[in-house]
Structure 1
Amino acid sequence: MNASMDATDACDLRFGQVGLACVRVRRVDAAALCDELERRVRAAPQMFARAAVVLDLSHLLDLPDDGTVDALLEAVRSAGMLPVGLAYGTSETEALAKRMGLPLIAKFRAAYEPATGAPAAVAPAPRSEPAPAPTREPILAAPASGNVGAQHHAGSVRSGQQIYARDRDLIVTGAVANGAEVIADGNIHIYGGLRGRAMAGAQGDEKARIYVSDFRAELVAIAGQYRVFEQIPGDLEGQSVQCWLDGEKLMIARL
């Protein structure tokens, strides 16, 4: 018998929607970058310690040289995060990614396209998506085609699960556990408790909203603007709330 016929494959390779944190560099200062990221990790270690992040250089006036980028990557590592690639940019960014031996992550193209001629000093505030837990169950995603309605998920979303509604709203009729994520390109409606993470407007829709019946979230985000909760404010804990963007500020209020 041919040995190749009864040999076990060394691995399986699959692609899927993955939550990544994006570190948008606003000025080339490795020490300041490390300090800022360390502050974020200290504030929410369960979110950002060893988080997989993408380095976005698109809002700098000039693309840094290889040595400077290497220093920025080391600053991210020193802060306790794990850089996994560069965000989509120009052809120069692509060449830089190849030289650095890093993948180019095109997921952030729509949300992070640089404004023509805009200096870094007046760039919008960073839009960071949260990083995934180290180990996840298979992602439950349903691609949209044509004019479709909201995606429904009946029952609870367990810790380690990630539900993604592409090009549509997401309705969850159950609880979202700690360590679980629900993501939608449109709005998110949770008719149950939110103890995990909810991210609406995942492709940059700033008009998206999040509605929760029982608010106890780890994190909520809209179009990349996020709020992390170490402790839920007393007037919001366990309440029915809605989340929306007011400019670049994520607002949360009781319904």
Structure 2
Amino acid sequence: MTAVSQTGPSIRFRGRSFMAMTLVADVPLQAWLADFDVWLQRSPGFFNGRTVVLDLANSAQNKADVERWIGELATRGVRLIGLEGVRPSMVDAGMPPILRGGRDSTLTITDVAVPAEEPRKPVEPVNMLVERRVRSGQSLVCLEGDVTIIGSVGAGAEIIAGGSIHVYGTLAGRAIAGATFGASAQIFCTKLEAELLAVDGTYRTAEDIDDVFRGKAVRVSTADETLLITAL
């Protein structure tokens, strides 16, 4: 009898990075949820299909607290991929896993000369240029730099930029700038009809945008955690 060795299909693992939105919970729970419900009414569907991490560092003392937060968000259509700021004893197998941003390390330095660390070169932005209309339901993400669109952004479309956003046309969707470079980012468009504007986490929904800016060319910036809209 001849023995035959067969090689089965190999199982492959790859490391990949994904962008997730971190939702920072606060207490008291009911007051936070009331504010969150108002925000959801103004931006329905904002969390549809999004990867969300819940930070409970200041909002959960035990497993029951964690379960309650997860349940309240689940009833509002927010699906979590992970938790931050909780102890392992507060999480079981049926909950999203605990995520950590880095690992602690210990470095022992002996009596040797240590060369001075060279200054790091600033990160060069990588910008995105789109020469077409961005249609409803489409999402463009460029976390490395600015996004420039020669065309309109339709209602229901979304633009996320690490830096600034420039729209040479009507901006009717959602524009989120400063995801990487913070408050130095701005939003420019030749005709404002936006559903949501955000710079460095400070935002306004359509209901909060003054009618005087509707249909106008504007510049959007932030200062002291306040979103500023200026007609051009």
Q: TM-score, normalised by structure 1?
A: 0.66
| Deviation at residue 194 of structure 1 after TM alignment | 0.5
Q: How far apart, in 1, do the equivalents of 2:88 and 2:148 lie?
A: 37
1:43 aligns with 2:37: no
- SS of structure 1 residue aligned to 2:184: coil
Are the counterparts in 1 of residues 222 and 228 from structure 2 also a CA contact under 8 Å? yes
1:173-222 CA-to-partner distances (Å, cap 9, x unmatched) read 11111111111101111111111011111136111111111110011111
Question: Structure 1 stretch 172-181 or stretch 29-38: which is displaced more?
Answer: 29-38
Q: How far apart, in 2, do the equivalents of 1:173 and 1:244 lie?
A: 20
- SS of structure 2 residue aligned to 1:168: coil
Q: Kindly tell me: are residues 103 and 239 of structure 1, through their superposed partners in 2, closer, same or farther at Cα, counting changes over 3 Å?
A: farther
Greater RCO (Cα-Cα under 8 Å, separation 6 or more): 1
Question: Structure 1 stretch 223-232 or stretch 166-175: which is displaced more?
Answer: 223-232
Partner residue, 1:82 = 78
- SS of structure 2 residue aligned to 1:183: strand
Q: How far apart, in 2, do the equivalents of 1:75 and 1:206 lie?
A: 32
Mark the structure with the bigger radius of gyration. Answer: 2
Partner residue, 1:30 = 29
Q: Kindly tell me: are residues 100 and 30 of structure 1, through their superposed partners in 2, closer, same or farther at Cα, counting changes over 3 Å?
A: farther
1:217-228 → structure 2 map (5 Å cutoff): 217-228=194-205
Q: What RMSD in Å do the two structures reach over aligned CA positions?
A: 3.4
- SS of structure 2 residue aligned to 1:23: strand
Aligned residue type for 1:33: W
Aligned residue type for 2:70: L
Point out where structure 2 has 5 or more consecutive residues left out of the alignment.
Answer: 1-7, 102-122
Aligned residue type for 1:82: V
1:192 aligns with 2:192: no
Aligned residues: 203
Partner residue, 1:68 = 65
Question: Structure 1 stretch 159-168 or stretch 40-49: which is displaced more?
Answer: 40-49
Q: How far apart, in 2, do the equivalents of 1:227 and 1:204 lie?
A: 19
Q: Kindly tell me: are residues 218 and 15 of structure 1, through their superposed partners in 2, closer, same or farther at Cα, counting changes over 3 Å?
A: farther
Q: TM-score, normalised by structure 2?
A: 0.72
Aligned residue type for 1:246: A
| Deviation at residue 73 of structure 1 after TM alignment | 1.8
1:56-105 CA-to-partner distances (Å, cap 9, x unmatched) read 223x1x75211111112222234x2323134545xx55775665530456
Partner residue, 1:253 = 230
Partner residue, 1:101 = 95
| Deviation at residue 252 of structure 1 after TM alignment | 1.1
Point out where structure 1 has 5 or more consecutive residues left out of the alignment.
Answer: 6-12, 110-145
1:167-246 → structure 2 map (5 Å cutoff): 167-203=144-180, 205-230=182-207, 232-246=209-223
Q: How far apart, in 1, do the equivalents of 2:208 and 2:60 lie?
A: 39
